[in-house]
Structure 1
């Protein structure tokens, strides 16, 4: 699974600042938003000096991506300053943009330092794998969704907050989830950051559904990511356990707002995330 994800996120250079992202093998339906963000980040990184690493990205989803065809990425080199480089990336399918993203890269430097503490939650070794929990209730999932519900994923996840995907009981709009790649990642720091971008799109929108007793499995729920912002704070390895601490302070007008902090096992805050999503009950 991880080798497949590394291949998926390694974009192909077609011309200067023009790249092609592979399609997910056996993918069906709508492209996962984290995949488009991660491929766009990899394309942008190819245009920046190696000594400059991404510190933030801001993306808007415009159209759902189609799993049946590759995605084309066009990178615009907007600015190269003494410390920062700014890039704009547009993702296309069939000649139409599906994502518009800005990314900023920084030459690393020292500075004043502080961070929030990592939440006090059970360790991943004391929690059951989510895959096992899914299999226990798979027979209750609609047949059209069952294969997707239990299929293997590139990241192992363990819930440190109450999690019952098929229940409709309202819960606090907070989630704490441990995750890590299911196998070692052979590529360098650039791939680890891209995989973190991929994983940062997991579970966020579900956080804002929790107080309403809803989930994406319900046939009357329409949901989709509208935008996504990610800030890289520190070096990260996605094949070590990371804690994704999420909350959703607001929802209304068919939208929900979600925030996340990603901590390394040693307590370092390595990334922050914000996302607004479409959330409608038909």
Structure 2
């Protein structure tokens, strides 16, 4: 299948679904986001591991986006999402996505998605879609002056730790620079990111891929200054995630992910990020709050 239909299957197949096989071979990236259609506005998916035996939050959020997008007219583009991670998701059971149609406006459409596992909501998301419109009013932040992706050979840390983990094989992340303790007290990291295989032209697939990519590195920005502070291991638990999609882009082409963390306190850390094309165009922004737990 290609295009929009490639990410939704009809019917109610058995247990041999995406998540069970994703760790056994290198899948297509679109396989990570493919959902089964169970009924009108009801979908089912599976997720691979993030933390041990916990579903990867970026994949849960991206699948929720797919579910929402499949209930919206194709001429509307997702421009924002706001999600809350309520409970850890498991990798050994399917996740059901329930879509509520909150608004059908002339220009904007709004959906709410609840991701349910074992009868409990593990993730809740609101997403807004807009019919594309041209505007003469525009401004944007300039891209940081950093070396391009072709000048970087160092892959981002976790990609080196687990290079044989199949989902990681689908991504190419190149660390440009990072600073744990700059003068203004705000840790930063700059990473070139992309899905390392061609994607279809479906705009929804590209915004979902960017949400997936953002969750791989964003919260680690807040953790960087504190890795060696105090005894024990420092773990991250995603609490919420927000994305804004400003302009069209392709997630299978290089994007600079410029990240910083304004604050950590009360066991919570806030991270921000902006995505730029190689031409310097700001195409998306992200924010995430994560719990920093020391064991």
Per the shorter chain, which TM-score range? Answer: 0.7 to 0.9
Q: Distance in 2 between matches of 1:197 and 1:133?
A: 18
The alignment status of 1:119 with 2:133, answered yes or no, reads: no
Q: Is the 8 A contact 2:156 2:175 kept in 1?
A: no
The alignment status of 1:239 with 2:252, answered yes or no, reads: yes
Moved more, 72-81 or 154-163: 154-163
Residues 78-136 of structure 1, C-alpha deviations (whole Å, 9 max, x = no match)? 1111110110000011111000100000011122111000111111111114169965x
SS at match of 2:215: coil
The alignment status of 1:39 with 2:52, answered yes or no, reads: no
Q: Distance in 2 between matches of 1:24 and 1:51?
A: 31
The alignment status of 1:206 with 2:220, answered yes or no, reads: yes
The alignment status of 1:184 with 2:198, answered yes or no, reads: yes
Matches within 5 A, 1:44-193: 44-111=68-135, 112-130=137-155, 135=160, 148=162, 151-152=165-166, 153=168, 154-162=170-178, 173-186=187-200, 188-193=202-207
Residues 6-54 of structure 1, C-alpha deviations (whole Å, 9 max, x = no match)? 1120211110000001333999611111001100000000111111110
Displacement of 1:188: 2.0
Q: Is the 8 A contact 1:205 1:256 kept in 2?
A: yes
Q: Distance in 1 between matches of 2:44 and 2:175?
A: 35
Q: Distance in 2 between matches of 1:195 and 1:263?
A: 15
The alignment status of 1:248 with 2:261, answered yes or no, reads: yes
SS at match of 1:202: helix
Moved more, 265-274 or 18-27: 18-27
For the aligned residue pairs, the C-alpha RMSD in angstroms reads 2.5
Q: 1:64 to 1:10 in 2, by over 3 A?
A: same
Aligned length: 264
Q: 1:82 to 1:26 in 2, by over 3 A?
A: closer
Displacement of 1:4: 3.0
Q: Which residue of 2 aligns with 1:273?
A: 286
Q: Is the 8 A contact 2:47 2:56 kept in 1?
A: no
- Gaps spanning 5+ residues in structure 2: where? 1-24
